[in-house]
Structure 1
Amino acid sequence: MMVVTSAIPKWIWHEDGASRLQHVLSRELHLDRGEEKVRLFVAATGHVEIVWDGVVVGQLEEHPAHLASFIRIDAFPDSIAAGRHRLELRISCTEPMPIVDVNVHLQERRVGCIGYLEGAELWLPTDERWDSAGASARVVCLLGEEPYGDLENGPDWFVRGGYGDIGTKPLTDYGIVERSGIEAIGRTNGVLSLSGTHTVQAELPSVRRNERHIFYHLRKQQEWAELRAYQERAGLGEAPWIVLEMDAEYNMRFRVHNDSGRRATILWNGAESLTELERYAGCITESFPVDPGGSFTILPQGMRYVRFCLIGLPGEAFDLRIRFEEVGVMLEQIGQFGSDHPVADRIYHTSVHTNRICHQTGLWDGVKRDRLNWTYDFYMAAKADYVLWNDFSVLKRTILELGHTPYGYWMNSIPAYTCWWMVNVWDYYLHTGDRAFVLEIKPALERHLRWIVHHIDPETGMFVQRHQAFIEWVPMTEEDAWHTLHAVLAIALSSVNRLNEEIPELGLAASGIKRPTIPSAAFRSSPSLITLMLGAESGCLDEEQERSVLSGIAVSDPVTPLSAFWLAERLAATGKTEEGWAVIERVWGRMLEEGATSFWESVTLAPSADFHHSLTTYTAYESYRISLCHSWSSTPVQWMSRYILGVKPLAPGFAKIAFQPRAMPGMNRCEGTVSTPRGPIRVRWEKREDGRLAASIEAPQGVEIEYGSMGERILLR
């Protein structure tokens, strides 16, 4: 007897992938007794003919809409007799998912089929136990992964995702911003009750799903814009509505239960700021009906503000209950920070929240946009991971996914991103000491190193031809971008050499690769902050040159959290820790001034009446499309752990650390914890009347501590 289990269906296909567009997936099953209330749900990239015990019982046409939702096969028998049975899915695909340079790492996911057969005591999900042409079906990807993303019309517990580690937590702290025509009661358990009388009836249009998209969020943004446009045209202002503000931004979902005797339709909007909610043509906009006594749960989205608009037959009463839930990987926080400096504490804790909620199927860039694994984004985000959490599963699967980029392509289509991926692997090993994982990805390391070397002039160490040299959002000249790309290349090659030194069996062919030769003047004369900082990070500037450059820099617009972090990092690395903290306090503090509960993709230091509208990437897009929760802005966590708590790894896995705590202006005491693979390192210090720090450190057994040149500045307890 096959009984209900917690197994979530997987996207599967024939082993040959997109080169086999017609094939049959099949599964045999034996039932000890008959099953009632049987239902079959399927989504696929092609036309599916459903065959049960040799008889065609239904079909699913090939259509992009059937990639966004589990489609119930209505013609499938609703009862099954005891005995042996065979289910076949005969698939014919004419148009696989689109692959372009930016998503080429997903090329093995161009075709797929996912579904499940359920009954009272029956649960049969698609997985590798299915047969395809006499062999086990190949798992294409897991539920929730790109390019398919989350699917509608599945059970609520599918929120766990294909990795099974995504959880939910009730959200009970929210407030009412505005309402009209609605009675709202917030219960102590967080349930929101909405009641009133309908005043507007409207037929909401169905979203058009007539094309395949390279990423899930691009499809959703198109759908939202279509329904939002209708919302603006339809003039639904007289319908009952309410706007809610959560205590912070989350990747969240809500469940609506209809306690009335009539169907209600909910048109809702979600946004990261109130002005986005009011003005952005592309803000989250969806709708759904709820039958009497029924309920509906949305798919998770990143937001802080929610607007509900109730639509139904005028004069009829509505009575709804709504529960809100946070959705994400429920990580155990080990790293901590607390001080008598309120702004420092807020920066640390908001950075933690930003980082944590971006841990989903991968380490996403943001929970609203793009919900993707971008190489440089997660390299920066991982800096917080290493000192916060004791589980790197999400980070590892993110490294693996981008590592699938084939030879002949740059990661995310950007040469610098392939280089940053190499740096990320070294950073991962330095902080975790996870030798087994690095050896596991050796083929990917070799492949991407070969691709880099293929483009390098062996005499100069420079790229042979000009490539797209995207470094970050702030505008820079073509020459600055070119020089900075080579600084990133130098950092990558250094990372490969360090990996070789620490793990000789890797044997990466890097020893003969010439370091790019760029005159230091190319960096020293640049007006670009990121060019200067990465020139210093790469060693293209010597210590004296770097100190000279840093002495004349003040943080100002245009700046991003990326370049601001590197400025703070290089200032601290050259002994100017207080100046580095001033940068963090200025840039991240600016976001806090605007009420940020998570840190942003971009920042504008100049005040504005509408801070969200004023944000820009300068070169790509601006205004409300800018993400207000971006994991690459969680970097203060690492900076504060290294330069205020004073714990910095000197050997892989924190086998050896430097300990040099520092007090920032206005800070007189501090304590915190740094997560390491060997266990937590605990630090406490306070400033004495004579200006010295009385500091203590507790480290796990086997951690060697180097106290450095503290002189009389620190008194160890």
Structure 2
Amino acid sequence: MVAASGPALGVTPDGHGDWRTFIEAPATRDLSPTGVVSTSGNVRNATALTTADDTDSITLSYAEGGPAPVIVLDYGKNVGGTTSFDVVSKSGLPTLRSSYSETLKNLSETGDYTNQFSPTTLRYDTFPVTRVGTIQGSGIQGAERYQMITLLTPGSVTLSRVRIHFTGELGTADTLRGHFLSSDDTLNRAWYASVYTVNLNQMMPGGSNGPLHLLLDGAKRDRSVWSGDILASGPTVYAALDPVYVRDSIQLLGEHPATVADYLLPAVGTSAVPGPMPGVCQPNVETPACMTFSMSYSTVFVPVLADYVRYTGDMTFAAEQWANVVRVLAWTGQQRDAKGLITTTSTNGKDWKVDDHTGEATWNNLIYYAALTDGAELASALGRDAAASAWRTQAAALRTAINTHLWNPTTGVYDISDSSNGAIAQDANTFAALTGVADPVRSTQILGVLDKRLQHARGHLAYAEPAPAGEGQQLSTMMSGWEVMADLDAGRTTAALDLIRREWGYMLRQDPGGTTWENIPMTGDLDGAHSAAHSWGSLPAAALSRYVLGIRPTTPGFDTFVVAPQPGDLSWAAGDVPTPYGPVSINWSQGAGCRYTVDVTVPPGTTATVSIPGGKTISGVTPGDHRYMGQPAC
């Protein structure tokens, strides 16, 4: 048996290639510019900042009445951290300004956006240069590929070095816990771009977050812990990174129970009585501030916790958070109407798009259904059988109510809400399939409708055209990521891979490259207000590991798990998926006569069920290296 390679080996055993070539993270923390985009005014020896020779230098000079010197630097990829400047000489009273942007198009003297969640709120630093030595930027600029340096007042400054100190986690070949490689380079790039995007959003301990490892929403904006975003970024953490970032983020949210779920109010409450959970915690202040956001972003606390426990087996933490699970499910259940559906108001009805949906909103009810079923799973794992039974009963009643009142037989999809009928929405229907509210036949039907009606050259739309009144049209990287998951879960592998190739392939071909966006605007151009490194757009890494590699836990913490590769139109794939027991390694390929070979390594202490594409399923697979040969599949 030839086992699939582990991360330290790099090259797949049959010589398919080296996964390390796709890694996006920089190799070191101290980063220098890789190129000069442009200069204007009096800038001497501009390329000195791109060399490793600290004895070389660049001089910017600004004469009274003359043009200001400007240099635009390129770091070669989207990076993030603190900026420093080594000043070797100066004359006059120069004031240096450094501004930052993820894309060249949005770069200006004040950067690309004013971030209200940042300690300084600004995307630029301004320094009166009063001495030689090192000047340090005021704080973390979470994502930037381009840097503009200019002088605002007359004088001259000579710099020997400009650098960015990378402050996220470095997902290098030595630190990644999982990896992926396949016969499709676009999918490979999407996997590693997804992981690197999460790297940029990993806030390491220290500073305002104290000992906590936090998982942020956007590296540039908002640099905050959002519950709904973790639902999408957490799966990528489990595919390759340290799950402590999810645990600590849940802990931060769990420490701030609320009384109401209204939009951006301070979270104040007690876990002893029913109530909502915060939707967002802002760690970038002296005392982290947690706020409510909406009913859905309160309820999603339970699925986020359940997924963490599913992939880590951390039952101690699940027990610590049990009171929060009970209180939020009890409070959300109190919002049900006579039909058995939860209803939202103009103050607590915000969704992931920050749109208001009042009444019986389908997506909100699907999140509540997921919370009930996931809560029941947690309860069973903790031995709280009465709670598990009660929540399963409530979930069954809710499922019936959703299918009775929110299904539209005319369109063949679920409506947006009881008052918004006839439109085709990606979020409501994707989650109906994902959560199992739609049965397998209906799931296949609605996913087919989405595939047909949401088609766009750059991916899938949030709504079939024309978009309903009051709803902003876009291509949502988070919802398309969930649609990829739903397609794969329904066995629509080719459709899922095609969506990744189009939507994530488009982002990878655009500036800044190598990261996943918050969304794709209808123009195709990312504006400065939106993030080019948004963690909720990272779902392809999780999807490819869970379904193309096919490795998913069936009991908390991978005591038991499945290995069920879904090839789609791929000829081979290999990789590792981390577990608490060590990595599960797999290498599958399609040989002559469409016959699949699957090599899998099962770690000690676990038991696997292995399904061969187009072939048999083997239960009770014990630790060790195994090779399985399938029957001809075509």
- Shorter-normalised TM-score: what interval? 0.7 to 0.9
Return the letter of the residue paired with 1:327.
T
Return closer, same or farther for 1:475/1:324 CA change in 2, 3 Å cut-off: closer
Q: Which moved more, 1:688-697 or 1:400-409?
A: 400-409
- Work out which of the residue numbers 147, 158, 180 in structure 2 matches 1:306: 147
Q: Deviations over 1:427-448 (max 9, x none)?
A: 0110000011111222322332
Q: Does 1:456 align with 2:308?
A: no
Tell me the SS of whatever aligns to 1:239.
coil
Alignment CA distance shift 1:477-1:422 (3 Å): closer
TM-superposed CA distance for 1:684, in Å, is: 1.0
* Letter matched to residue 590 of structure 1: Y
Counterpart in the other structure of 1:198 = 61
| Aligned equivalent of 1:297, options 101, 120, 136 | 136
Match in the other structure for 2:251: 400
Q: Distance in 2 between matches of 1:312 and 1:506?
A: 71
Alignment gaps of 5+ in structure 2:
1-26, 115-121, 204-208, 262-277, 280-292, 408-412, 416-423, 462-473, 618-626, 630-634
Query: 2:30 corresponds to which letter in structure 1?
Result: P
Indicate if the aligned counterparts of 1:259 and 1:321 stay in contact, CA closer than 8 A.
no
Give the counterpart letter for 1:321 in structure 2. R
Between stretches 555-564 and 668-677, larger displacement belongs to 555-564
* Contact 1:472/1:562 (8 A) holds in 2: no
Q: Secondary structure at the match of 2:37?
A: strand
Q: Secondary structure at the match of 1:629?
A: coil
1:106-144 deviations in Å (ceiling 9; x for gaps)? xxxxxxxxxxxxxxxxxxxxxxxxxxxxxxxxxxxxxxx
What is the distance in 1 between the residues matched to 2:104 and 2:256? 39
Amino acid at match of 1:406: P
Whether 2:529 is the aligned partner of 1:625: answer yes
Is 1:348 aligned to 2:191, yes or no?
Answer: yes
Q: Distance in 1 between matches of 2:157 and 2:123?
A: 27
Q: Which has the larger radius of gyration?
A: 1
Distance in 2, Cα, partners of 1:561 & 1:475: 17
Determine which of 489, 492, 506 is the counterpart of 1:573: 489
- Which of structures 1 and 2 has the larger relative contact order (alpha carbons within 8 angstroms, sep 6+)? 2
Q: In the aligned structure 1, how far is the partner of 2:544 from the partner of 2:530?
A: 26
Cα distance change, pair 194–520 in 1 and its aligned pair in 2 (3 A)? farther
Alpha-carbon distance in 2 for matches of 1:428, 1:659: 20
Number of residue-to-residue matches in the alignment:
499
Asked whether 1:421 is paired with 2:333, we answer no
| Cα distance in 1 for residues equivalent to 2:378 and 2:575 | 30
Deviations 1:652-673 (A, max 9, x none): 11111111223343x3332211
2:38 pairs, out of 178, 196, 204, with: 178
Q: Does 1:491 align with 2:343?
A: no
1:340-394 CA-to-partner distances (Å, cap 9, x unmatched) read: 32111111111111011100052000111000001100121001011212x3222
Conserved 8 A contact 2:478-2:537: yes
Match of 2:548 among 613, 635, 644: 644
State how far apart, in whole Å, the 2-side matches of 1:533 and 1:317 are: 56
- Distance between the aligned counterparts of 1:483 and 1:414, measured in 2? 15
Aligned equivalents of 1:474, 1:644: Cα separation in 2:
33
Q: Does the 8 Å contact 2:578/2:584 carry over to 1? A: yes
Letter in 1 for 2:189: R
Structure 1 residues 134-283: aligned runs within 5 Å: 169-172=29-32, 174-180=34-40, 181-182=42-43, 183-184=45-46, 185-186=48-49, 188-189=51-52, 194-196=57-59, 198-200=61-63, 238-262=67-91, 264-278=94-108, 280=112, 282=114
Q: Kindly indicate whether the alpha-carbon contact (under 8 Å) linking 1:271 and 1:306 is maintained by their aligned counterparts in 2.
A: yes
Against the structure 1 CA distance between its residues 323 and 285, is the aligned structure 2 distance closer, same or farther, given a 3 Å change threshold? closer
- CA distance 1:465–1:327, change in 2 (3 Å): closer
SS at structure 2 position matched to 1:518: helix
Looking at structure 2, the residues matched to 281 and 702 of structure 1 have their Cα atoms a distance apart, in angstroms, of 50
Cα 1:442–1:506 shift into 2, 3 Å: farther
Superposition pairs of residues 347-386 of structure 1, within 5 angstroms: 347-360=190-203, 361=209, 362-386=214-238
What SS does the aligned partner of 2:491 have? coil
Letter in 1 for 2:381: E
Structure 1 unaligned segments of length 5 or more: list them. 1-166, 202-235, 613-622
How far did residue 528 of structure 1 move?
0.7
Q: TM-score, normalised by structure 1?
A: 0.65
Which residue is equivalent to 1:518?
Answer: 402
Which residue of the other structure, out of 411, 434, 438, is the alignment partner of 1:541? 438
Q: 2:178 aligns with which of 306, 331, 335?
A: 335
Match of 2:225, SS state, is coil
Determine if the alignment matches structure 1 residue 286 to structure 2 residue 125: yes
Deviation at 1:460, TM superposition (A): 4.6
Deviation at 1:245, TM superposition (A): 1.4
Q: 2:158 aligns with which of 318, 324, 330?
A: 318
When the two chains are superposed, the root-mean-square deviation of aligned CA atoms in Å is 2.8
Equivalent residue for 2:580, pick from 677, 691, 698? 677
1:532 aligns with 2:435: no
Instruction: Summarize deviations over 1:13-33 as a string: whole Å, max 9, x none.
Output: xxxxxxxxxxxxxxxxxxxxx
Kindly tell me: are residues 319 and 285 of structure 1, through their superposed partners in 2, closer, same or farther at Cα, counting changes over 3 Å? closer
Distance (Å, rounded) in 2 between the aligned partners of 1:193 and 1:322? 12
SS in 2 for 1:309: strand
Matched to 1:175, the amino acid is G
**Per-residue Cα deviation, 1:396-415 (whole angstroms, up to 9, x for no partner):** 12101111332413323211
Residue 170 of structure 1 contacts residue 190 of structure 1 at CA under 8 Å; is this kept in 2?
Answer: no
Q: Report how far residue 686 of structure 1 moved.
A: 2.0
The aligned residue for residue 220 of structure 1 is none
Match of residue 71 from structure 1: none
Distance 1:445 1:712, change over 3 A: closer
Alignment of 1:56-75 (within 5 A): none
Conserved in 2, the CA contact under 8 Å of 1:641 and 1:674? yes
Question: 2 CA distance for matches of 1:538 and 1:548?
Answer: 15
Could you tell me how far apart the structure 1 residues matched to 2:339 and 2:53 are?
Answer: 63
Identity %: 23
